[in-house]
Amino acid sequence: MKRYIVLLGPPGAGKGTQAQVIAQTLNLAHISSGEIFRENLKNQTELGKLARTYMDRGVLVPDDVTIAMIEARLRKADCDEGALLDGFPRTPVQAKALDQLLEKTNDRISCVPYINVPEETLIERLSGRWTCPVCGYVYHEKNNPPANPGVCDKDQGVLQQREDDKAETVQKRIDVYWQQTSPLIDYYRKMGLLVEVDGKRSIDEVSQQLLEEINKKAD
């Protein structure tokens, strides 16, 4: 049976950082809705141009557009063993659409880790985030710095800051999370899928706890 894991948490909680580790360890496709939008934006596709008008304001891209994009992504061959979803679903409509999509193939979500981090830590993390445009690896100037400032350890890519990590957009993204995404915590808790992880701990400690919780759900 395929394995589907949904990583839940506010902007800056560490979803992308942890998804890279967990997807690789469990041999699952890592599907980040934000990354797919940013890739489209870079390639100037129609989807990218549309997404930009929402992302620049820190608000969500409409559900129908996002659901269609994820549905197409889940059909790709690298999802044969399942997928780790990072940043999707983000609204109750998206969550129901994902359930229905998986039902079609008799699949279901096996675990929803919720990375819980207080708001002041989120702001500190997002303002210090630097990403490699070549491999997508995520650094933090204090918590997880590269060996040489501004340069990726893996491929020497010149690190960049995200457009939507400006202070005013960050606050908007956090507000949108509380209004539109946080109801999913209860949605998945009621389904018996939610496991809460303390995201304030170190990156390695969070990875370890996530893997333990995910494996417990698989037993």
Please report how close the Cβ of residue 7 comes to ligand AP5 at its closest, in angstroms. 8
Query: Any contact of residue 87 with ligand AP5 (CB under 6 A)?
Result: yes
Positive or negative CA dihedral for 28, 197, 72, 101?
Answer: positive
Instruction: Identify the residue whose tokens are 């390695």.
Output: 204
189 is catalytic: no
Q: Which of 3, 15, 52, 125 is catalytic?
A: 15
Q: Which of 2, 57, 162, 172 is catalytic?
A: 162
73 is catalytic: no
Among 16, 82, 113, 146, binds ligand AP5 (CB under 6 A): 16
Span 110-169, contacts to ligand AP5 by CB under 6 A: 125-126, 128-129, 138-140, 143-144, 164
The span of 51-59, 95-103, 149-157, 182-190 binding ligand AP5 (CB under 6 A) equals 51-59
- 54 versus 153: smaller Cβ distance to ligand AP5: 54
The catalytic site residues sit at: 15, 90, 129, 162, 173
